Amino acid sequence: MTDILLFHFARYPKMTPQDAVKLLYQSAFGPGHLLRDEDMARNRLAEELAATQESDGPLLEDIGGGYARLYLGAAKRANLPLEEIFARFLFSAQAACPGKDAFATGLSCLEALTAQGRAPFDSVALEAYLTEYRAEGCPMVSHSQTYRDHYHPAYRVVKNDVL
């Protein structure tokens, strides 16, 4: 997880503690939390794909735990059909995930890297965020507004071995 976090810190220097926790959550729990209603999930993907511009960026970006972010702009550039993207997402949502222990290990790794000054935020900011986050029961989180403003994320989490 150290290498994954360091890669993301370098690629996304405007990351906040919230964004790092989202990455760790996705790597531990995959996309299953997003698939309560298949039709709604397919429709949401179709809307997001239609609104996303083609991108020269990577199709896949490793997030650890056997998962990757499949970027919709790159998928659009590669002419991946909506149904193929959705099938990969659906398969990934139904697959077993690393779970709570992996998430706890990831959080410990994040705290250690931040204490070493290797994160794009400091330990005070991380500890303040994690104190509130843990008090809320460690829920799924969205990207921070800062991350959304700078990086415009549009992706689906999929198993690395699905492509």
Q: How many CA atoms lie within 13 A of 101 on its CB side?
A: 2
Q: Distance (Å, rounded) from C-alpha 76 to C-alpha 93?
A: 21
Q: Considering the entire predicted model, what is its pTM? A: 0.94
pLDDT at 59: 96
In the sheet that 155-159 helps form, which strands lie side by side, from edge to edge?
60-64, 67-71, 155-159
pLDDT digits (tens, 9 = 90+) for 87-103: 999 999 888 899 999 99
Residue ranges in the chain whose pLDDT is less than 70: 33-35, 162-163
Q: What is the mean pLDDT of the chain?
A: 94
Structure tokens at 25: 């959550």
Domain boundaries, the chain: 2-162
Give the model's pLDDT for residue 34: 62
- CB distance 102 to 27 below 8 Å: yes
CA distance 56 to 46: 20
For residue 37, the model assigns a pLDDT of: 83
